[in-house]
């Protein structure tokens, strides 16, 4: 219980940030891969969506380009909602300043799982709603870990992480040739960041594999365990706020 409480506590530590980042990278990978099998579209990164918009405009597929634009707006909206929730909770002095967005994401994952039942009856409505739901969740999640870690950690796209890995390896190789240029403290911090970014990519990948397998064998209800994980790490600060509210009313 203490471990889960620390992951979303208002008072942050580097250790908690990194553990939460790995957990959210796993969840993002699972949701992204499972979502792709459900709707044949990745929703955790906007690079592909913006590129598809440009292609569709060039090809004259303006409705598809418009759909991509809506997905992009919804992703940004998720980030906006996250930032508002965090700032509102911080101004109110709540324990759940970082837990509330994750609890919201857990509830949306449950909605995603339940929406799967409608796929058989109205697939034409299910697919676009699911894409927008996943985009909103990914924007929400990426914003929360970005705010918590002060932009050190990203969890919903791998391009930046892989770029950082390449840069770090290049700097380490240069340091071996010219050790006097790079202080040991700098290299130690660089190795820690490299280890973190590699672990985030691996957690995203493992989450993607398990999410795809889960969707293949279980279906949409694979999102329920993911929601349970997020609920576990977010519920304790919320309960603390409820306890304080009740005490204040007495």
pLDDT of 91 reads 93
pLDDT of 32 reads 82
Could you read off the pLDDT of 46-100 as tens digits, one per residue?
777 888 899 999 999 999 899 889 989 999 999 999 999 999 999 999 999 999 9
Q: Which residues of the chain have pLDDT under 70?
A: 38-39, 44, 117-127, 180-182, 250
Q: CA–CA separation, 216 vs 225, rounded Å?
A: 15
pLDDT of 124 reads 58
Per-domain residue ranges of the chain? 2-249
Fold observed for domain 2-249: Growth Hormone; Chain: A; (1.20.1250)
**What pTM does this model have?**
0.86
């Amino acid at each position: 219980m203490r471990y889960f409480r620390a992951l979303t506590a208002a008072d942050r530590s580097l250790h908690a940030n990194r553990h939460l980042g790995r957990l959210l990278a796993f969840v993002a990978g699972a949701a992204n891969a499972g979502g792709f099998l459900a709707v044949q579209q990745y929703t955790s990164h906007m690079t592909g969506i913006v590129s598809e918009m440009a292609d569709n405009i060039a090809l004259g597929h303006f409705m598809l380009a418009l759909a991509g634009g809506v997905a992009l707006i919804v992703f940004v909206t998720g980030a906006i909602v996250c930032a508002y929730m965090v700032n509102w909770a911080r101004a109110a002095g709540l324990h759940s300043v970082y837990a509330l967005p994750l609890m919201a994401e857990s509830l949306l994952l449950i909605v995603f799982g339940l929406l799967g039942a409608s796929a058989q009856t109205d697939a034409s409505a299910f697919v676009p709603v699911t894409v927008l739901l996943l985009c909103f969740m990914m924007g929400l999640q990426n914003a929360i870990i970005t705010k918590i870690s002060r932009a050190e950690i990203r969890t919903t796209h791998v391009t930046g992480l892989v770029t950082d890995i390449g840069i770090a390896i290049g700097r380490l190789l240069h340091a071996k040739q010219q050790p006097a240029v790079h202080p040991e403290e700098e290299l130690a911090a660089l190795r820690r960041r490299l280890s973190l970014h590699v672990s985030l990519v691996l957690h995203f990948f493992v989450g993607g594999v398990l999410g795809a397998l889960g969707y293949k064998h279980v279906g949409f209800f694979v999102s329920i365990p993911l929601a349970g994980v997020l609920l576990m790490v977010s519920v304790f600060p919320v309960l603390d706020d409820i306890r304080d509210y009740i005490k204040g009313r007495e």
